[in-house]
Amino acid sequence: MVVVIVVCIVVTLLVLCLSLLTINKGYAYKHTVDPIPEPDSNKEDPSNRTNE
């Protein structure tokens, strides 16, 4: 019976350590956001079209 309790405690501690490791890696991840693209001056403006 003592062996079962010791094994349960070891497994619980292992799961706790792995959970903390995963959480720390998640918080250490550097999140980035793509910059907003600037308006392209080469695009043709529909209101500035000439009839050809």
The per-residue pLDDT for range 12-21, each reduced to its tens digit, is 999 999 999 9
Q: Decide which of 35 and 42 is more confident.
A: 35
pLDDT at 1 over 90: yes
How far apart CA 20 and CA 18 sit, in angstroms, is 5
Considering the entire predicted model, what is its pTM? Answer: 0.55
Block residue for tokens 């349960």: 8
Q: How far is CA 25 from CA 16, 31, 34, in A?
A: 14, 12, 22
How far apart CA 6 and CA 9 sit, in angstroms, is 5
Q: How confident is the model over 31-36, as a mean pLDDT?
A: 88
